[in-house]
Chain A
Amino acid sequence: MNNNLFGYEQDQGPKITQLTELNKDSSILNSFNDKNNVNNQSGTLDLESIKNNVDNGTKLSVNAAKKNYEEGHDVSMSAYLFVLLEFIKTIVSDIDNTNHSKILGDIGHDVGIRIYELVNFKLLNPKKSMSTKSALIEKMDNYKYIDNLSHGSTLNISQVPSSEEIYSYISTTTVELEESGVIKNLKHLSFITLLQFIQDTIWKYMFGKKADDIQKINEDDSSYAIIDNDPLIASLVLPAKVNEFICGIIKGVVESANYKCESVNTQILEDKTYNNKSAYIIKLQK
Chain B
Amino acid sequence: MSIPLYFAILHNKTDSALYETFLASKDSLSAEDIPLKDLYPFIANSAIDVIDNIQQANQTNLPYNKTHLHQKVQDLVEANMNSKVEPNKTSFFVENILVKDGSNKSLVQKVTNTHNNPQNINSLPEGSLFLGTIDEYDGYLVSSYVTYNNTKFMVISDKNHVMNYLQLQKFFLNVHDLYLKHLMNPFTSAKGDMPIKSLLFDAKIKVFGDLYLLS
Which A residues lie at the B interface, using CB under 8 A? Answer: 109-110, 113-114, 116-118, 120-121, 125, 143, 145-149, 153, 155, 157, 159-161, 163, 166-167, 170-171, 174-177, 181-183, 185-189, 252, 256-258
Contacts and interface: CB of A to CB of B under 8 A. Distances in A.
Main secondary structure of the interface of B (DSSP, over half): helix
A248 B208 CA distance: 36
B74 interface: no
A145 B200 contact: yes
Pick the 4 closest A-B CB pairs, nearest first. Answer: A256-B149, A187-B127, A113-B190, A181-B166
Given A116-B148, A183-B128, A189-B58, A121 B176 contact: yes
B183 A117 contact: yes
B177 A160 contact: no
Given A147-B187, A186-B128, A189-B58, A121 B203 contact: no
Contact of B123 (A114, A145, A157, A182): A182
Contacts of A116: 148-149
A121 B201 CA distance: 19
Nearest to B129: A185
B211 A186 contact: no
B190 A145 contact: no
B150 A166 contact: no
Contact of A170 (B123, B194, B211): B211
B2 interface: no
A113 B191 CA distance: 8
Interface residues of B, number: 50
Contacts of B123: 182
Contact of B203 (A110, A114, A161, A182): A161
20 contacts: A114-B183, A114-B190, A116-B149, A146-B200, A147-B198, A148-B197, A149-B194, A159-B199, A160-B200, A170-B208, A174-B170, A174-B174, A175-B174, A175-B177, A181-B166, A181-B169, A183-B124, A186-B128, A188-B127, A256-B150
Contacts of B165: 181
Contact of A163 (B59, B201, B207): B207
Contacts, number: 127
B130 interface: yes
Given A182-B125, A185-B173, A186-B127, 11 more contacts: A117-B147, A148-B199, A157-B199, A160-B203, A182-B123, A185-B128, A186-B125, A186-B128, A187-B128, A189-B126, A256-B150
B103 interface: no
Nearest to B56: A258
Contacts of A118: 180, 183-184
A110 B191 contact: yes
A110 B192 CA distance: 10
Given A110-B190, A147-B187, A177-B170, A187 B198 contact: no
Contact of A125 (B177, B181, B208): B177
A157 B173 CA distance: 27
A256 B129 CA distance: 14
Interface string B158-197: 0000000110011001101100111111011111001011
A161 B200 CA distance: 8
Contacts of B72: none
B149 to A, nearest CB: 4
Contacts of B176: 121
A191 B150 CA distance: 16
A217 to B, nearest CB: 22
B102 to A, nearest CB: 28
Contacts of A185: 128-130, 173
Contacts of A166: 203-204, 207
